[in-house]
Structure 1
Amino acid sequence: MQTLYGDREKCYNCYRPKSSCMCSYVNSIKTKTKFIILMHPKEFKKVKNGTGHLTHLSLKNSELFIGVDFTNHKMINDIISTCKSYILYPSKDAINISREKLYDNDLDIQKDMAIFIIDSTWACSLKMLRESKNLQTLKHISFDNNKLSQFKIKEQPADYCLSTIESTLSVLELLNFWKLENIENDYLKTFLNPFEKMVEYQLKCVDNQLSNAVRYKIKYKVIN
């Protein structure tokens, strides 16, 4: 679905201008695990660089909520009360799912699992956790990262930092490893397609801008 955005059409799915819409590259994955993407309002405004929307579109069993304080959010509280819920956050007490299975007793297996993923900067993520009292009850999970982010258009705060969609892929791969999911490898291999195409498009735009700037300087020198 598209709508006019200024003088351009905008896609309501990925929230990008139609000219740079990435929806055609999305190959949605069906998971047993429910994913809840909590997007900071500042990320919502980052239409060009945001990967939270692409993550949501790539997961059939997912929800996306925008805000800072989710303490009294009914849908989120319902999910927490009915599911075995975790939040992806690398704290010192986090369960490292690269080394440890999330759960293995029958009582836990009877409940659906939900994983909350914060789509924000580190500073804003900390504020969201601090203000959302309900999120403070969730166990943290983390993973060992040996990948470099492919977000070439955006400088990450450290080498181990990944974008939202890249982090989600790592979680999916580990859930598969622990037999908590049974996702076909072909789906995992194409999960980052919309992200990679977005980065490719952005790099092309930067190259065009640089080329135009060089041409302008040459033209300006010739005229003057």
Structure 2
Amino acid sequence: MQTLYGDREKCYNCYRPKSSCMCGYVNSIKTKTKFIILMHPKEFKKVKNGTGHLTHLSLENSELFIGIDFSNHKKINEILSTCNSYILYPSKDAINISREKLHDNKPSNQKDIAIFIIDSTWACSLKMLRESKNLQNLNHISFENNKLSQFKIKEQPADYCLSTIESTLSLLELLNFWKYENIENDYLKTFLNPFEKMVEYQLKCVDNRLNDSVRYKNKHKFFN
């Protein structure tokens, strides 16, 4: 679906300008796990390089909510009451899913798994957790990362920091490893396609601007 945004036509799915829409590269994955993406309002405005929307589009069993305080959010509280819920957030007590399961397979743990993913900067994420009282008692999940982020158009706080969609891929791979999921490798291999195409497009735009600037300076120098 397309909609007008200012003087530019914009895609209503990925929230990017139509000229750089990434929906055609999305290969949506079906999962047993429910993913809930909590997006800070500031992140929502990052149309050019936000990966929260791409993550949501790439997961059929996912929902995306925008806000800071979700304490009284009806849908989120419903999910919390019906699922074994976790939040992806590193802390000293976090379950390291690279080394251990989220939980065993006892009958009492047969509820669906829901994983909350915060799409925001570290500082804003901390505020969202502090404000959202209903999320404060959730078990935290972390994982060991040996991948370098491919987010070349955005400076990450550290080498090990990944974008939202890259972190989600790592989670999917580990959920597969522990048999919570059975996702075919072909789907995992193409999960980052829209992200990689977005980065490629943005880098090309930067190169074009640099080339235009050089041509302008050379032309100006020649006439002077």
Structure 1 CA distance for aligned equivalents of residues 71 and 137 of structure 2: 11
- 1:6 is aligned to 2:15: no
Asked if structure 2 preserves the Cα contact closer than 8 Å seen for 1:85 and 1:139, the reply is: yes
Structure 1 CA distance for aligned equivalents of residues 4 and 105 of structure 2: 51
Structure 2 CA distance for aligned equivalents of residues 46 and 108 of structure 1: 41
- What does residue 23 of structure 2 align with? 23
Q: How does 1:44-63 map to 2 (within 5 A)?
A: 44-63=44-63
CA deviations over 1:145-187 (Å, ceiling 9, x no partner): 0000000000000011000000000000000000000000000
- What does residue 181 of structure 1 align with? 181
1:8 Cα deviation (Å)?
Answer: 1.3
- What does residue 136 of structure 1 align with? 136
- What does residue 95 of structure 1 align with? 95
Structure 2 CA distance for aligned equivalents of residues 120 and 107 of structure 1: 35
Q: Secondary structure of the residue that 1:134 maps to in structure 2?
A: helix
Q: How does 1:89-168 map to 2 (within 5 A)?
A: 89-168=89-168
| Residue segments in structure 2 that go unaligned for 5+ positions in a row | none
Instruction: Tell me the TM-score normalized by structure 1.
Output: 0.99
CA deviations over 1:177-216 (Å, ceiling 9, x no partner): 0000000000000000000000000000000000000001
CA deviations over 1:106-149 (Å, ceiling 9, x no partner): 13442010000000000000000000000101100000000000
Q: Percent identity?
A: 88
- What does residue 202 of structure 2 align with? 202
Structure 2 CA distance for aligned equivalents of residues 28 and 105 of structure 1: 27
Residue identity in the other structure for 2:125: S
Asked if structure 2 preserves the Cα contact closer than 8 Å seen for 1:84 and 1:108, the reply is: no
1:223 Cα deviation (Å)?
Answer: 1.8
Q: Secondary structure of the residue that 1:116 maps to in structure 2?
A: strand
Structure 2 CA distance for aligned equivalents of residues 99 and 65 of structure 1: 30
CA 1:128–1:110 in 2, change beyond 3 Å: closer, same or farther?
same
CA 1:108–1:149 in 2, change beyond 3 Å: closer, same or farther?
farther
Asked if structure 2 preserves the Cα contact closer than 8 Å seen for 1:51 and 1:164, the reply is: yes
Structure 2 CA distance for aligned equivalents of residues 53 and 209 of structure 1: 26
Structure 2 CA distance for aligned equivalents of residues 99 and 111 of structure 1: 22
CA 1:197–1:108 in 2, change beyond 3 Å: closer, same or farther?
farther
Asked if structure 2 preserves the Cα contact closer than 8 Å seen for 1:88 and 1:115, the reply is: yes
- What does residue 35 of structure 1 align with? 35
Task: Give the aligned CA root-mean-square deviation in angstroms.
Answer: 0.7
Asked if structure 2 preserves the Cα contact closer than 8 Å seen for 1:91 and 1:140, the reply is: yes
Structure 2 CA distance for aligned equivalents of residues 108 and 70 of structure 1: 27
Residue identity in the other structure for 2:175: L
Instruction: Tell me the TM-score normalized by structure 2.
Output: 0.99
